[in-house]
């Protein structure tokens, strides 16, 4: 009997020691109620059209899953899109970040329906709201861990706050097992998709962000989930998001306003195809596709004008063989023909001749009458 007691004691000690070592890998969690097991949100708070509730069930989730850790998690509802992404958020305050120390903030996230963006920001909780290790993520419909690590603190930061900015778009999501601790994680979670060398980064806008796309001239761009006030009601042609472009003024030249995706090198001897789905808000609109040298004299390769309509259609151009390495190269869409609004989705740029997209537009468009996806092709001179 005594022997059994000693063995049991040793076993329990080993189990306890194992738990201590596992916790020590990431350090002590500095957040009270980071797992929401208190069954209430407190001391977490929200601001700017955001509500938070501790829940034990994930209702209305597109992908049916349980709470990822323990019995409770935090349900977050973003009621309205903000003028800026930081106009709504979830916070955990009352911290002091000590000079010279490095901290890691991690959390499990899961969206209710489609991808959602979020910004992790350990910050000074007063003007000028300095951030330390601020990082943007795109969560999905399945639980996944995301994390960011701060640089060494330059001085004591007091008051400090753990802030999650969420006002990118209205929507619902859950968060759980939120941790903030001294040090770095043993292993960084994979939080971004792997991009193939010839794949256009964020060509489908599924990050929920415009980056790395930019617009110059008189206009603006934003990533949207709904094609508001379209003459022909349709959804994004691929995935959940599309790029909405507004052209405010006609340019003296059609190239005075344009959408661009830079940082490319077109290789000598290669042929490339640029393809995109386009849809105007009302009436027809012109656009010019131009893979080009992104410096004077702005030489184009396979430049071609198209006229888009009120219904989704894919247009493409294939370049001639590149005479030399073209660096810097840019994917440019000139849009300065006339004021108006249109949407872009499923943009592709790749080596070789045209190939049909891998996704099926018939499954990407909501059933509202006839299927409106068509393909517009050209013949190069």
Cα separation, 135 vs 163, in Å, equals: 11
Mean per-residue pLDDT, 189-210: 67
Chain mean pLDDT for the chain: 86
Q: For residue 79, tell me if it sits in a domain.
A: yes
| Tens digit of each residue's pLDDT (9 = 90 or more) over 358-379 | 876 643 333 222 233 333 443 3
Question: Can you count the helices (H) and strands (E) in the chain?
Answer: 2, 21
What values do phi and psi take at 378, rounded to 5? -135, 165
| Tens digit of each residue's pLDDT (9 = 90 or more) over 172-183 | 999 999 999 999
- Which of 129, 160, 182 is at the close of a domain? 182
- Which of 182, 201, 231 is at the close of a domain? 182
Q: For residue 68, tell me if it sits in a domain.
A: yes
Same domain, yes or no, for 173 and 93?
yes
Residue 122, CA distances (Å) to 2, 76, 96, 376 in order: 53, 19, 11, 48
pLDDT at 186: 67
pLDDT at 27: 83
pLDDT at 83: 87
Cα separation, 307 vs 41, in Å, equals: 53
In contact, 104 and 149? CB cutoff 8 Å: yes
Same domain, yes or no, for 369 and 220?
yes
pLDDT at 187: 55
Same domain, yes or no, for 287 and 146?
no
pLDDT at 167: 92
Same domain, yes or no, for 104 and 221?
no
Residue 26: its H or E element? helix 2-26
150 Cβ contact partners less than 8 Å away, ≥ 6 residues apart = 97, 102, 103, 104, 105, 122, 132, 133
Residue 9 has pLDDT above 60, yes or no: no
Same domain, yes or no, for 103 and 246?
no
Instruction: Strand 242-247: give its sheet, edge to edge.
Output: 219-224, 242-247, 340-351, 272-280, 313-318, 374-376
Same domain, yes or no, for 87 and 159?
yes
Same domain, yes or no, for 122 and 231?
no
Q: For residue 328, tell me if it sits in a domain.
A: yes
Cα separation, 239 vs 69, in Å, equals: 29
Domain containing residue 156? 27-182
Mean per-residue pLDDT, 117-123: 95
Same domain, yes or no, for 101 and 227?
no
Q: For residue 22, tell me if it sits in a domain.
A: no
| Tens digit of each residue's pLDDT (9 = 90 or more) over 244-268 | 999 999 999 999 999 999 989 999 9
- 254 secondary structure, DSSP code: G
Same domain, yes or no, for 167 and 218?
no
pLDDT at 377: 42
Model confidence at 235, pLDDT cuts 50, 70, 90, reads very high
Q: For residue 153, tell me if it sits in a domain.
A: yes
Residue 354 has pLDDT above 60, yes or no: yes
Cα Rg of the chain (Å, integer): 25
Reported pTM: 0.59
Residue 201 has pLDDT above 90, yes or no: no
| Tens digit of each residue's pLDDT (9 = 90 or more) over 275-299 | 999 999 999 999 999 999 999 999 9
Q: For residue 329, tell me if it sits in a domain.
A: yes
Residue 30: its H or E element? none
| Tens digit of each residue's pLDDT (9 = 90 or more) over 23-57 | 345 689 999 999 999 999 999 999 999 999 999 99
Mean per-residue pLDDT, 125-150: 93
Q: For the beta carbon of residue 115, count every other beta carbon within 10 angstroms.
A: 21
Cβ-count burial 26-56 (b if 16+ within 10 Å, e if not): bbebbbebbbbbeeebeebebebbbebebbe
Residue 138 has pLDDT above 70, yes or no: yes
Q: For residue 14, tell me if it sits in a domain.
A: no
- Which of 182, 201, 232 is at the close of a domain? 182
What values do phi and psi take at 20, rounded to 5? -65, -45
pLDDT at 236: 94
Cα separation, 130 vs 121, in Å, equals: 9
pLDDT at 39: 95
Same domain, yes or no, for 72 and 137?
yes
Q: For residue 307, tell me if it sits in a domain.
A: yes
Mean per-residue pLDDT, 1-15: 43
Q: For residue 350, what is the domain's CATH number? A: 2.60.120.260
Same domain, yes or no, for 287 and 342?
yes
Same domain, yes or no, for 171 and 251?
no
Mean per-residue pLDDT, 139-143: 93
pLDDT at 211: 85
Residue 123 has pLDDT above 90, yes or no: yes
3-class DSSP assignment, residue 256: helix
Tokens of 28: 């002590």
Mean per-residue pLDDT, 142-154: 94
In contact, 338 and 247? CB cutoff 8 Å: yes
Number of independent structural domains in the chain: 2
């Amino acid at each position: 009997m005594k022997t059994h007691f000693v063995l049991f004691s040793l076993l329990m000690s080993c189990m306890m020691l194992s738990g201590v070592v596992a916790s020590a890998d990431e350090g002590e969690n500095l957040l009270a109620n980071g797992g929401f097991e208190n069954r209430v949100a407190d001391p977490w708070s929200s601001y700017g059209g955001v509500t938070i509730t501790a829940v034990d069930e994930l209702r209305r989730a597109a992908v049916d899953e349980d709470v990822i850790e323990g019995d409770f998690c935090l349900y977050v509802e973003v009621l309205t899109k903000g003028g800026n992404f930081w106009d709504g958020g979830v916070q955990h305050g009352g911290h002091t970040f000590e000079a010279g120390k490095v901290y890691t903030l991690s959390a499990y996230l899961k969206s209710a329906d489609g991808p959602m963006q979020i910004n992790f920001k350990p910050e000074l909780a007063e003007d000028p709201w300095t951030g330390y290790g601020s990082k943007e993520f795109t969560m999905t419909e399945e639980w996944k861990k995301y994390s960011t690590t701060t640089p060494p603190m330059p001085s004591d930061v007091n008051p400090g706050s753990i802030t999650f900015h969420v006002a990118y778009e209205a929507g619902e999501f859950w968060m759980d097992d939120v941790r903030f601790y001294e040090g770095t994680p043993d292993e960084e979670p994979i939080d971004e998709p792997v991009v193939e060398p010839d794949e256009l980064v964020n060509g489908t806008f599924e990050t929920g962000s415009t980056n790395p796309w930019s617009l110059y001239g008189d206009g603006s761009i934003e990533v949207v989930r709904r094609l508001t006030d379209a003459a022909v009601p349709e959804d994004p042609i691929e995935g959940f998001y599309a790029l909405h472009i507004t052209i405010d003024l006609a340019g003296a030249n059609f190239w005075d306003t344009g959408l661009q995706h830079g940082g490319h090198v077109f290789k000598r001897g290669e042929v490339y195809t640029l393809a995109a789905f386009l849809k105007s808000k009302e009436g027809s609109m012109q656009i010019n596709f131009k893979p080009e040298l992104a410096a004077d004299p702005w030489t184009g390769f396979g430049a071609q004008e198209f006229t888009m309509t009120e219904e989704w259609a894919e247009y493409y151009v294939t370049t001639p063989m590149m005479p030399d390495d073209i660096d810097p190269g840019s994917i440019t869409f000139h849009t300065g023909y006339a004021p108006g609004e249109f949407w872009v989705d499923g943009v592709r740029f790749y080596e070789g001749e045209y190939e049909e997209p891998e996704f099926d537009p018939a499954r990407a468009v909501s059933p509202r009458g006839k299927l409106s996806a068509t393909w517009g092709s050209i013949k190069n001179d």
